Amino acid sequence: EISLTDVSHYFDSDPTKVVRSLRKDGKMPKAFIADTTTANAQVRTLSGQVRLDSRTKLLNPKFYEAALKGGYEGVREITRRLRFTLGWSTTAGAVDNFVYEDANSTYIADKDIRDRMMDKNPDALRDMIQTFLEANSKGY
């Protein structure tokens, strides 16, 4: 199953801000996503889908504990997912602030997890901290 926060080309080609700039009223267009990852396909708003992805993966203890068991690559995957989530903030403004706040509490404020990440992949942890700083500097 591949979701919106799994790969960068989804937000790289998101036309939301382009369409907004073309509208005379300057309003952000509504964006909807068809979630076909299960047999019960559902249509959600873009922000709703990013919220769901964040809760089921980035902020889900089962996801990040399994990723941490994956060692170097697992920590890199967690960091990549946060970076791709920031992509949705930048291109479409589709990420709630709680995602960054909860991710910071999970990965940075929690000393045990932070130390495990540092032990397995210090470069990915540094990249994650840079992503948090970038998100904060942009007001997310």
Quote the pTM value.
Answer: 0.84
φ and ψ at 33, to 5 degrees? Answer: -125, 135
Count CA atoms within 13 Å of residue 67 on its CB side: 22
pLDDT, tens digit, 9 for 90 and up, residues 81-138: 999 999 989 888 889 999 999 999 999 999 999 999 999 999 999 999 999 999 999 9
Q: Which of 1, 30, 18, 7 is nearest to 91 (CA)?
A: 18
Residues 107 and 78 sit within 8 Å (Cβ to Cβ): yes
Helix H or strand E encompassing 44: strand 42-45
